[in-house]
DNA sequence: CACCATCACTTGATTAGTCAAGTTAAATAA
DNA sequence: TTATTTAACTTGACTAATCAAGTGATGGTG
């Protein structure tokens, strides 16, 4: 063993980096009493509101069940509102949700960016972004290979 | 709102891609009755064995408690062995563990690589790898900014 | 007009991880 | 030699997600 391919090395780096930076981000967001996942959901709502739970679930790559529980928590905290419209629940931010996001948004963005700003030039960041965009888009239409 | 920085866009892509491809990978590995996390742990053991739990925990970015539970499962399945050496437990693969890994390794590597091979040239993959390596290394020494 | 299928969402059971307190063995000091 | 500290690992309580079964409202069909 072990002839690693370049692809598998990239994969590992990505996995390690994301778990690591996700942990750091969770710690960072404690000051706003949010988790990274919650921040993500609030962001998506703020951009796309009003929207349904299924739409949201898809945007943040979580199951229906997952989004349901998550929104219960966020609703209990008073960050969001759900209205039963027809058979659909329409989600939107409350005042309080807007306020928290308004506060957390610039800081969280700066924090996320710092991971890249500290070691990559503007040019390199653009390159990284386009490469990852291609990779991500590809993965979205990927099927499992047959056994 | 919302002037996204290039860094925050990269971050989002990375997060979405890793959760997505992690899910696909878990599905893929079902044929070997493994999860992605388990495969990762077995790989690390196979490369570095014999090693202690704390060393392993650090390599796979998991807490001591997490590694402990994980190894209990892997031991129950008969993939690994733990020996009490001094006050340390030394971990190594069993025959069965070696065998599973031997089987799963090439397929999983090919699967991981396919995410990148399908859309990036060799050259581009190298670029992506070096950029991510720099970003990852930087995140490892990162401290939380003050409130 | 009553029944059935479907869609959007919720919920019980399970899994995987975190954190912090607990356990045990070894090393060090008195 | 006993007593204390430390290191490595485990465990109980909790959190967050998954999957699959359940619920209830809408809309179509015989």
List, as one string, the DSSP characters of B110-136.
HHHHHHHHTT--HHHHHHHHHHHHHHH
Q: Which two tokens stand for residue B61?
A: 């970015």
What are the pLDDT digits (tens) for B69-116?
Answer: 999 999 998 999 887 666 566 889 999 999 999 999 999 999 999 999
What are the pLDDT digits (tens) for B7-38?
Answer: 999 999 999 999 999 999 999 999 999 999 99
CA-nearest residue of chain B to A108? Answer: B8
In angstroms, the separation between the Cα of residue B134 and the nearest Cα of chain A is 7
Whether residue A61 has pLDDT greater than 80: yes
**Strand C proximal to A128 Cβ, under 7 A:** no
| pLDDT of the residue at B141 | 83
| pLDDT of the residue at B85 | 62
Mean pLDDT throughout A52-61?
92
What are the pLDDT digits (tens) for A119-132?
Answer: 999 999 999 999 99
Whether residue A1 has pLDDT greater than 90: no
| pLDDT of the residue at A37 | 94
Task: List residues bridging with B93 in a β-sheet.
Answer: B80
What are the pLDDT digits (tens) for A75-127?
Answer: 999 999 887 666 566 899 999 999 999 999 999 999 999 999 999 999 999 99
Three-state secondary structure call for residue B49: coil
Greatest pairwise CA separation for chain B in angstroms: 59
| pLDDT of the residue at A98 | 93
CA-nearest residue of chain B to A15? Answer: B18
**Strand D proximal to A70 Cβ, under 7 A:** yes
Q: Which of A20, A131, A140, A145 to mutate to test the interface with B (most CBs of B within 10 A)?
A: A131
* Size of chain B, expressed as the number of residues it contains: 147
Distance, C-alpha B86 to centroid of its chain: 28
Cβ(A106)–Cβ(B126) below 8 Å: no
**Strand D proximal to A86 Cβ, under 7 A:** yes
Q: What DSSP line would sit under A63-105, residue for residue?
A: -HHHHHHHHHHHHHTTSEEEEEETTEEEEEE-HHHHHHHHHHH
User: Could you report how far apart the first and last alpha carbons of chain B are, in Å?
Assistant: 23
As a whole number of angstroms, the distance between CA A117 and CA B125 comes to: 21
Q: What's this model's pTM, rounded to 2 decimal places?
A: 0.89
User: Left, alpha or beta for A86 (phi > 0: left; psi -120 to 50: alpha)?
Assistant: left
Residues of B numbered 112-141 whose beta carbons fall under 8 angstroms of chain A's beta carbons: which are they?
Answer: 112-120, 122, 124-129, 131-140
Q: Which of A24, A109, A114, A116 to mutate to test the interface with B (most CBs of B within 10 A)?
A: A116
Of A77, A39, A36, A44, give the one whose Cα is nearest residue A60.
A44
| pLDDT of the residue at B86 | 60
With 0-12 / 13-18 / 19 or more C-beta atoms within 10 angstroms meaning exposed / middle / buried, residue A8 is buried
Under the banding of pLDDT at 50, 70 and 90, the label for residue B56 is very high
Of all nucleotides, the one whose C1′ comes closest to residue B35's CA is: C16
CATH of A6-111, one of 3.20.20.70, 1.10.3720.10, 3.30.450.20, 1.10.10.10: 1.10.10.10
**Higher confidence at residue B50 or residue A32?**
A32
User: Could you report how far apart the first and last alpha carbons of chain A are, in Å?
Assistant: 23
| pLDDT of the residue at A90 | 84
**Of the candidates B5, B15, B127, which has its C-beta nearest A109's C-beta?**
B5
What are the strands of the beta sheet with A88-93, ordered from one edge? A51-52, A88-93, A80-85
């Amino acid at each position: 063993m072990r002839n690693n391919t370049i692809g598998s090395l990239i994969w590992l780096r990505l996995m390690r980096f994301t778990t690591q930076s996700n942990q750091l981000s969770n710690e960072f967001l404690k000051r706003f009493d949010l988790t990274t996942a919650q921040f993500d959901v609030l962001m998506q709502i703020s951009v796309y509101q009003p929207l349904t739970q299924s739409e949201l679930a898809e945007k943040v790559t979580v199951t229906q069940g997952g989004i349901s529980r998550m929104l219960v928590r966020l609703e209990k905290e008073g960050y969001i509102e759900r209205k039963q419209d027809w058979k659909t629940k329409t989600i939107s931010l409350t005042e309080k949700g807007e306020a928290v996001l308004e506060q957390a948004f610039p800081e969280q963005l700066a924090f996320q960016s710092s991971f890249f700003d500290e070691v990559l030039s503007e040019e390199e960041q653009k390159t990284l972004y386009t490469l990852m965009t291609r990779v991500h888009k590809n993965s979205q239409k990927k099927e499992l290979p047959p056994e």
